[in-house]
Amino acid sequence: MGEITSGPTVPFKTPASSGHVVGTTDGEYCGFSFRETDGSSIVFRLWDSTEAAEGDLLETISLGANESTSDHYPRSGRRVLNGIFFEKVSGAGAVEGVVFM
């Protein structure tokens, strides 16, 4: 078996608005690790975009109050051409974590 490696990580906290640029470089999207920090639920999406909820959808993630989740795709990362855009879909929760590139 080969060694499991990934590139740089991009720290992230939920913005006050519903849309936010997480990263602005191209590369391989290799996963995420997030936790809800406000005691409420939240649903959000990550897009291959730096301007709006458009382009290729990378993930839709739903977290309950104080829940955490992570997925890592070291051998099957997805090419990101534009960067990563965070779209808050619903809920009052807040999120912090990291995106693996």
Residue 7 has a pLDDT of 52
Residue 76 has a pLDDT of 75
- The whole-model pTM stands at 0.81
Q: How far apart are CA 50 and CA 33, in angstroms?
A: 20
Domain ranges of the chain: 20-91
Mean pLDDT of 18-37: 81
Residue 3 has pLDDT above 50, yes or no: no
Residue 77 phi, psi (nearest 5): -60, 160
Bridge partners (DSSP) listed for residue 9: 100
Q: How far apart are CA 22 and CA 84, in angstroms?
A: 5
Mean pLDDT of 15-21: 63
Counting every residue written for the chain, the total comes to 101
Q: Are 71 and 31 in contact (CB under 8 A)?
A: yes
pLDDT tens-digit series, residues 35-90: 999 999 999 999 998 888 888 999 999 999 999 999 988 777 888 888 888 888 99
For 92, the 3-state DSSP assignment is coil
Residue 74 has a pLDDT of 75
Q: How far apart are CA 71 and CA 60, in angstroms?
A: 12
Residue 17 has a pLDDT of 55
Q: What is the gyration radius of the CA atoms in the chain, in angstroms? A: 13
For 22, the 3-state DSSP assignment is strand
Residue 6 has a pLDDT of 46
